[in-house]
Amino acid sequence: MEKKVFRSRISVLVMIFILAIMLLPLILMINSGNVSNPALYILAGTFLFIILLLCGIGYEITEKHLIFKMWFFSTKVPISMIVSIERSYILLASGAASLKRLFVRFKKGYKYPFALVSPVREQEFLETLKILNPNIQINVTNKDGWWRFWDWDI
């Protein structure tokens, strides 16, 4: 099997939250009259840095490993160590740029108890893992509602 690459889904809500956090200091500076060019450059640079970090999150599935990547950093997990995958909206920091996540549970005794991922082509991601390890229990449901459109998750 050739390796499959999946990028992380990026949540609209996460982007709005980051933008709001970046705009709050700008609004406070404008109201106080202390707007300086260096401060604006620092805010813009920080915003771009965070966006670049989020865009660099991805996952690779090879014959034997699930690889979590963030730009130059990567972590390999043997697919044989995956026990179950289920839907999660946990707000823990993770290698997922979305709030609509998959909770990947590993076997007891492994160095990581779980991982949170949010691949864009989620169904293909799950099918690929299930083919490589038929013992994985997959319990992922997709709920529809007025808050979900164009596969955006809010």
pTM score of the predicted model = 0.79
Most confident of 71-75, 89-93, 126-130: 126-130
114 backbone φψ class: left, alpha, beta (φ>0; ψ -120 to 50): beta
Size (the chain), residues: 154
Residues 6+ positions from 50 with CB-CB distance below 8 Å: 18
95-137: per-residue pLDDT in tens? Answer: 788 888 899 999 998 888 999 999 989 999 999 999 999 999 9
Domains present along the chain, CATH in parentheses: 1-154 (2.30.29)
pLDDT of 127 reads 94
First-last CA distance in the chain: 35
Distance CA 134, CA 7 (A): 23
**Average pLDDT over every residue of 54-59:** 88
43 backbone φψ class: left, alpha, beta (φ>0; ψ -120 to 50): alpha
- Residue 58 carries which side chain, given as an amino acid letter? G
